[in-house]
Amino acid sequence: MLLINNIRLPINHSEDDLKRKIEKKLHHKITSFVIRKRSLDARKEPLYVYTVVVEIPDEDKYLSKDIRKYDEEDLRPEYKQRNETCIIAGYGPSGIFSAYRLMEAGYKVIVFEKGKRIKEREKDVEKFFKEGILDENSNVQFGEGGAGTFSDAKLTTRIKDPYIDYILDIFARHGAKENIKFENHAHIGTDEVRVIIGNITDYLISKGVEFRFDEEIKDILLDDDRKVTGVMTLKGNYNCDHLLMGVGHSAYRTIEVLRQRGVYIEKKDIAIGFRVEHPQSLIDERQTSSLVEAANEYFLRYKGEKGVYSFCMCPGGMIIPAMSDKETIVTNGMSYAARDSGIANSAILIQIFKEEFENGYDFLHSLERKAYDYSSSYKAFAQNIKDFMNDELNELIFESTYPLGTVLYDFNQFFKKEDLKIIKEALKDFNRKIPGFIDSGIMVGPETRSSCPIRIKRNENYESLNTKELYPMGEGAGYGGGIMSCALDGIRIANALILKYGKVQNN
């Protein structure tokens, strides 16, 4: 096979144009090709830049600066009948992809998920969004697919890892559009990701993975040597050889149980803030061309005494209530595949160092409760950004997409004085980068669940530092943030187990 780089085409081109361009570069006719990567070069007249793979005879004849030999790696693990049981706690991205890989390697896998399957979960989330009635076990954070199910399902990550292709391929095999495998800014959208996750679960069930939805792990079972031997739920005890914990950043009760069992856990830095909303047209207009894909996004970063940055930008999306506890308020963002709400939202977060709090969960929950106490309902805090900058409080310039309504609140009361100064400097900086950012935007919040306040420290074999056969993974263990990084973490853990007795890759 040949890998051909640097094939440049104008934005509006057809598949035939691409085929002709490949043939021109090769000076040879081809019957088919596979796109490996497509990125945008918007430095001058916007162009798409492709990398493709083709199969033709006498490959050596065609080699050049942009054309090299290529061997497709088979990233699936070696299959062996293994007599060991892996229990996976939590079925978010880390749980899903560790389960998938361990199944492929031949392990017996049992998944415990405290929330419900998607169809039931959708009803609970809809009820909350419409009527404000929250189910603490089935919500935006908890249930089949984990926290990323009611999201934009952006698949971007700054991590470079061969297993990214493996993950994207699994998404595509279970219903995602093929373009996620090569687009630079791929996103699936909440409507489509829900179907895909359901398909993956059905497939895993058909391959023998056992699922226990609606069943929360309440405790872990340890022997005298501090080795995990199983888990306890309200339905009974279950033995296992390995326990993979991917319970997410909202499972503070489970983390407390681990702490009581003596599992080594340390504090880590977090970030807090709010969401901003703007007319999507304001974001699009600042780009070189409205045709340019991903022109609808932004990533803003300000480095003062503390970092302030935009996070999880959802073009054409909506702000949602993302709490898992009653009488608290937590905001987050999601969008449908079409990204057509006309409103852009994104979190604006400031770093909070671990020295600034005693217990991170208590610190975050006090902010979430403060918001609920102020509004006496699930209505979120809201303020015009320009009013925040000028210490004023006026009617919102437009209504937020947050479905449960908002109350006017002065965010100057929310942050520490020193942090306020940095946030305002950052917003001025963002306004220079996106003119109108201050005058045309509103802020809605609080946003407190973008990061996890603890890390369950692991050794070089990905095992807990002081508890054998406990493998903490994903965001709730402090080892990921986002769908792809948590999925990759799940695969890392699965590979560590597979390596004990077999080969981690087929070739």
Ligand X SMILES: Cc1cc2nc3c(=O)[nH]c(=O)nc-3n(C[C@H](O)[C@H](O)[C@H](O)COP(=O)(O)OP(=O)(O)OC[C@H]3O[C@@H](n4cnc5c(N)ncnc54)[C@H](O)[C@@H]3O)c2cc1C
Q: Which residues contact ligand X (rule: CB under 6 A)?
A: 89-95, 112-115, 140-143, 146-148, 150-154, 216-217, 246-248, 251, 254, 312, 320, 322, 332, 334, 474-476, 480-484, 486
Nearer to ligand X, 112 or 128 (CB): 112
Q: Which two tokens stand for residue 326?
A: 């009653």
Tell me whether the omega of the peptide bond preceding residue 446 falls within 30 degrees of 0, making it cis: yes
Nearer to ligand X, 48 or 252 (CB): 252
* Gap between the Cα atoms of 119 and 266, Å rounded: 37
Nearer to ligand X, 337 or 420 (CB): 337
Q: How far is the CB of 223 from ligand X (least distance, A)?
A: 21
Q: How far is the CB of 334 from ligand X (least distance, A)?
A: 5
Rounded to 5 degrees, φ, ψ at 159 are -75, 140
Instruction: Residue 236: count other Cβ atoms within 10 Å of its Cβ.
Output: 9
Nearer to ligand X, 94 or 201 (CB): 94
Q: How far is the CB of 376 from ligand X (least distance, A)?
A: 24
3-state secondary structure 198-230: HHHHHHHHHCCCEEEECCCCCEEEECCCCEEEE
* Gap between the Cα atoms of 229 and 34, Å rounded: 46
Q: How far is the CB of 431 from ligand X (least distance, A)?
A: 25
Q: How far is the CB of 171 from ligand X (least distance, A)?
A: 12
Nearest to 339 by CA among 178, 157, 151: 151
Q: Residue 426 is which amino acid? A: A
* Gap between the Cα atoms of 428 and 412, Å rounded: 16
* Dihedral angle of Cα 476, 479, 481, 483, to the nearest 10 degrees: -90
Q: How far is the CB of 273 from ligand X (least distance, A)?
A: 14
* Dihedral angle of Cα 158, 159, 163, 168, to the nearest 10 degrees: -10
* Dihedral angle of Cα 408, 410, 416, 422, to the nearest 10 degrees: 110
Q: How far is the CB of 480 from ligand X (least distance, A)?
A: 6
Q: Which two tokens stand for residue 179?
A: 């373009």
Sheet harboring 210-213: ordered strands across? 210-213, 108-113, 85-89, 242-245, 470-472
Nearer to ligand X, 113 or 387 (CB): 113
Nearest to 13 by CA among 37, 61, 49: 49
Nearer to ligand X, 139 or 431 (CB): 139
* Gap between the Cα atoms of 293 and 17, Å rounded: 19
DSSP symbols for 453-505: SEE--B-TTSSBSSSBTEEE-SGGGTS--SHHHHHHHHHHHHHHHHHHHS-SS
Nearer to ligand X, 149 or 383 (CB): 149
Nearer to ligand X, 22 or 343 (CB): 343
Nearer to ligand X, 254 or 467 (CB): 254
Q: Which two tokens stand for residue 171?
A: 């998404």
Nearer to ligand X, 123 or 416 (CB): 123
Q: How far is the CB of 212 from ligand X (least distance, A)?
A: 8
Q: How far is the CB of 494 from ligand X (least distance, A)?
A: 13
Q: How far is the CB of 426 from ligand X (least distance, A)?
A: 22
Nearer to ligand X, 308 or 313 (CB): 313
Instruction: Residue 126: count other Cβ atoms within 10 Å of its Cβ.
Output: 11
Nearer to ligand X, 152 or 192 (CB): 152
* Gap between the Cα atoms of 17 and 26, Å rounded: 14
